[in-house]
């Protein structure tokens, strides 16, 4: 796997690059800002770009860069990192298309298995959303509280779905049979008034949009 890395903190960027190399991942470019990144990958796009969502004190520069990359290099995966679990940014990222995108809280990057799994999923065109962000979305106050219609088991299935897991991934995480998970998902869509989607990433997008609303 080939990865480009962008972060305005040199120490964090160099440390993450070293960690990626230990995992056997080629770091093709390192940049400190959006312009350096876009110039660096214009003729040599990587499989995945990892970047801090806040590359400066001016706001979500990393998110702007992600949107630019999606327009210019639609096949490049995007993994955004943030010091905080900011739900609005997660939803905005997914609005550009839920294929090959991820959003992790920086604290989880130190867990090699979490980082490696997120990179793999994003590179394969799947979604990887930090569980803390999903939990915050689910815990948001709502006037209608449609989540109250779900059973405890269905809520857990929904949470795993929103993180970007496939049906088989949910089954493995919850130690359930795949057919049981499929039944739960059909029930969830029916109770929430969501149309069933064929593609997992479209399903994640629909779920997250509903949670945000």
Residue-wise pLDDT tens digits, 163-203: 878 899 899 999 999 999 999 988 887 777 766 555 555 67
Residue range(s) defining the domain that contains residue 119: 2-130
Integer Cα distance of 208 and 14 in angstroms: 33
pTM of the complete model: 0.75
Task: Tell me the two tokens of residue 170.
Answer: 């949910």
**Number of domains making up the chain:** 2
CATH number for position 190: 1.10.10.10
Q: Is 93 in the same domain as 145?
A: no
Residue 175 near residue 145, CB atoms below 8 Å: no
Q: Is 123 in the same domain as 144?
A: no
Is the pLDDT at 45 greater than 90? The verdict is: yes
CATH number for position 55: 3.40.50.2300
Residue of 90, 75, 81 whose CA lies nearest to 41:
75
| Average pLDDT in the chain | 83
pLDDT of residue 46: 96
In a domain, 76, yes or no: yes
């Amino acid at each position: 796997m080939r990865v480009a890395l962008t972060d305005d903190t040199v120490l964090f960027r160099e440390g993450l690059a070293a960690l990626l190399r230990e995992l056997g991942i080629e770091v093709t470019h390192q940049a400190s800002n959006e312009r350096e990144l876009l110039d660096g990958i214009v003729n040599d796009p990587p499989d995945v770009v990892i970047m801090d969502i806040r590359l400066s004190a001016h706001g979500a520069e990393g998110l702007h860069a992600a949107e630019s990359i999606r327009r210019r290099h639609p096949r490049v995966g995007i993994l955004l990192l943030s010091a905080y679990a900011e739900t609005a940014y997660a939803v905005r990222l997914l609005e550009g298309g839920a294929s090959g995108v991820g959003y992790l809280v920086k604290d989880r990057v130190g867990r090699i298995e979490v980082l490696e799994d997120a990179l793999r999923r994003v590179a394969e065109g799947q979604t990887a959303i930090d569980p803390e962000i999903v939990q915050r979305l689910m815990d948001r106050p709502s006037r209608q509280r449609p989540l109250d219609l779900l059973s405890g088991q269905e809520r857990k299935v929904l949470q795993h779905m929103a993180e970007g897991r496939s049906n088989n991934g949910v089954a493995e995480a919850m130690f359930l049979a795949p057919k049981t998970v499929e039944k739960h998902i059909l029930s969830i869509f029916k109770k929430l008034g969501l149309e069933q989607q064929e593609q997992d990433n479209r399903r994640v997008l629909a779920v997250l949009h509903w949670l945000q609303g």
